[in-house]
Amino acid sequence: MRVVLVGGGGREAALAWRIGKSPSLSDLVVLADNPGWPNVARRVLGDPVEAAVSMGADLVVVGPEAPLADGIADKCAAEGIACFGPTQAAARLESSKWFAKEVMKAAGVPTAGSIAVDRGDLTSIARARERLALGNVVLKADGLAAGKGVFVCRTAAQAKGALDELWSGRFGPAADKVVLEDLLEGPEVSLLALCDGERAVALPSVQDHKRLWDNDRGPNTGGMGAYARCPLVSEAEADRLVDVVHTPILRELARRGTPFRGVLFAGLMMTPDGPRVLEYNARFGDPECQPLMCLWEDDVLPWLHGAAIGKLPEGKPAFSSGAACCVVLASPGYPLAVHKGIPIVEPPPIDGVVVFHSGTKRLPSGELVTEAGRVLGVTGTGPDLRTARDRAYQAVEAWRFPGAEVRSDIGAKGL
């Protein structure tokens, strides 16, 4: 199978690593510069759809959310090429938080109560300020904000400050509309499912760590690490939850004439009253994708292609019975600043560890340096979470560069 992979971060590095092991693969083309691509990957320059047409691709796999929001799946369809990722209309589940809320309500999916505020509508602003005054509210930029447009506020003063921050210009048009949600309490779990428009197949549950510092302190980030499997959601529970939070969404979108094909990521909060959906993403999470790909044992391409063409294989993909833990090394000052050009000393391969490059650059001299906010995703695997976690952190010390931001408690909740 001839495959084009869109994107160049840690998530895409993990996808390329797993796709590269597929016995179905004949050619893998990547478009971005990532020093961590597997040797099987062939880099070309240019537009992804044009590259897919020129090579006669069988499948385009889309990693990031922005190309999906821009309609890359629709462009592939116009050329007769299968695309793993939803159409622009279906991808609004992620590109518009308020649209997702409307779909959840229509589909009967359990979620937090919410209202929307448009910065150009004085009536909605007045209504929003009444809600902010009560505190215990979560503010979210309606549009795409790279995982950083969410503010959890317990007091009215925090809520007012968050709205001011969202409308400061930092988030651009993504925050022209803001969603206000009732604050829910409980641990969070990521549950992803492969979808072909009608059927959803659960993947192992994952727990992400969004805050910058240990014990979930500090600013929100794109993700400082993740582990799988999360003990809060067993395999049997995952299958049950898919019937509650994924399948109804597929039915509602199909009813609207916009079937969802790809991977549907449900961010859940496990409240005392049961699971509630915090948000949907229309693609693999980053860094959730890294441990999932490390545990995946099946040939991944029939599953990605089956989702893309609207016919998933029967049954479920096979995953290792063990665990995987991904620890992110980020640039000093992340998420507000990016320090490029910091040298990274590359240690020899470490057993039970895969290192996915998120934001690195190879200089002409051959030296590896930092290039983005999140730099490396060091992922340990093992028969249990403790082993996987220990391996990951041993490798983190070998890969640590000056000033790196690293949490020391990734996966600790799972123990």
Distance CA 112, CA 127 (A): 18
pLDDT, position 390: 98
pLDDT, position 122: 81
pLDDT, position 148: 79
153 touches 162 (CB < 8 A): yes
Tokens of 409: 């408690």
Domains 113-182 and 323-414 equal at CATH topology level? no
Binning the chain into helix, strand and coil, the percentages to the nearest 5 are 30, 30, 40
Beta bridge partners of 274: 271
Rounded percentage of the chain residues whose pLDDT exceeds 90: 92
216: region left, alpha or beta (phi > 0 left; psi from -120 to 50 alpha): left
Distance CA 338, CA 325 (A): 24
Tokens of 232: 């809060």
pLDDT, position 220: 87
Q: Is the pLDDT of residue 317 over 90?
A: yes
Question: What does residue 43 show for φ and ψ, rounded to 5 degrees?
Answer: -90, 135
Instruction: Say if domain 186-309 classifies as CATH 3.30.470.20.
Output: yes
For the chain, the average pLDDT equals 96
Instruction: Say if domain 323-414 classifies as CATH 3.90.600.10.
Output: yes
- Establish how many alpha carbons lie within 13 A of residue 165's alpha carbon, considering only the half-sphere containing its beta carbon: 17
Question: What does residue 119 show for φ and ψ, rounded to 5 degrees?
Answer: -65, -15
**End-to-end alpha-carbon separation of the chain, Å?**
40
Handedness of CA 401, 340, 210, 20 (dihedral sign): negative
* H helix or E strand, kind and range, residue 302: helix 300-309
373 touches 222 (CB < 8 A): yes
Q: Is the pLDDT of residue 35 over 80?
A: yes
108-158 pLDDT, tens digit per residue, is 999 999 999 998 888 888 888 889 998 999 999 999 887 778 999 999 999
Q: Which CATH class is domain 113-182?
A: alpha beta
93 touches 100 (CB < 8 A): yes
Pick the range with the lowest mean pLDDT from 149-153, 187-191, 193-197, 252-256. 149-153
The amino acid that residue 182 corresponds to is D
pLDDT, position 79: 98
pLDDT, position 120: 82
The structural domains of the chain, with segments of one domain joined by +, span 2-84, 113-182, 186-309, 323-414
pLDDT, position 74: 98
| CATH code, residues 2-84 | 3.40.50.20
Question: What does residue 124 show for φ and ψ, rounded to 5 degrees?
Answer: -70, -30
Pick the range with the lowest mean pLDDT from 56-60, 174-178, 241-245, 320-324. 174-178
pLDDT, position 351: 96
Q: How confident is the model at residue 337 (pLDDT cuts 50, 70, 90)?
A: confident
Please tell me whether residue 73 adopts helix, strand or coil conformation: helix
pLDDT, position 124: 82
71-118 pLDDT, tens digit per residue, is 999 999 999 999 999 999 999 999 999 999 999 999 999 999 999 999
